[in-house]
Amino acid sequence: MKYYIKALKNYANFEGRARRKEYWLFILVSLLIVSVLIIIDTFIEEKFNLKVDILSTLYSLFILIPSLSVTTRRLHDIDKNGWWQLISIIPNILTNFLVMEKRIYTSSIIGLILTLIILLSSIIGLIWILLYMVREGQSGDNKYGEDPKKIVEA
């Protein structure tokens, strides 16, 4: 829990480095919280006949900047620029737009090909960023700061 709180406290800190442990524990706690909120949202939806997932949506907005920040710092730990996270964000935004707006174009071959390219790029982007996130951080200092393992051990 301390790594989750640490990430929240550093919500606007896009400098420095984050260990794998900090990143993955933040992700784990966030997934657990959003899972509970989705269950509550489902209960509220059934009880009050609302079609809005208000709690999970508010929480997702609440952790948006901390998520971007901890991902940037995690990328810094493997000596990559924080902008690399766009490789998964942009295709996912396009995919969500296609799915949410029911705009999966299958009426023409060009529309189908474009839709498949966007979906495939989303999958490739997620795999790419996942591979970066599981990589061990660069030993020693790098251009983004001190080795976070060295700081913890000191």
pLDDT values of the chain reduced to their tens digit, one per residue, 154 residues: 888 999 999 988 999 999 999 999 999 999 999 999 999 999 988 888 877 788 998 999 999 999 999 999 999 999 999 999 999 888 888 777 776 666 666 667 777 787 788 888 889 999 999 999 999 999 999 999 999 988 765 4
What's phi and psi for 121, nearest 5 deg? -65, -30
Residue 51: predicted pLDDT: 74
Q: What is the pLDDT of residue 153?
A: 56
Q: How far apart are the first and last CA of the chain?
A: 21
Do residues 106 and 44 touch, judged by C-beta distance below 8 A?
no
* pTM for this model (two decimals): 0.86
Residues 52 and 11 in one domain: yes
How many independent structural domains does the chain possess?
2
Same domain flag for 9 and 60: yes
Residue 73 and residue 51 in one domain: yes
Asked whether residue 22 is assigned to any structural domain, the reply reads yes
Domain boundary, last residue among 77, 101, 119: 77
Q: Is 150 within the bounds of a domain? A: no
| Spatial separation of the C-alpha atoms in residues 64 and 35, rounded to whole Å | 16
Per-residue confidence (pLDDT) for residue 104, from 0 to 100: 60
Q: Which domain holds residue 29?
A: 1-77
CB atoms near residue 103 (< 10 Å): 10
Domain boundary among 59, 77, 95: 77
Contact 11, 72 (CB under 8 A): no
- The token duo for 60 is 């997702």
Q: Looking at residue 73, what is its pLDDT? A: 97
- Tokens at residue 67, please? 């998520």
Q: Which amino acid is at 4?
A: Y
31 with 100, same domain: the answer is no
In this prediction, residue 99 carries a pLDDT of 67
The confidence score (pLDDT) of residue 46 equals 86
Which residue type does 24 have?
W
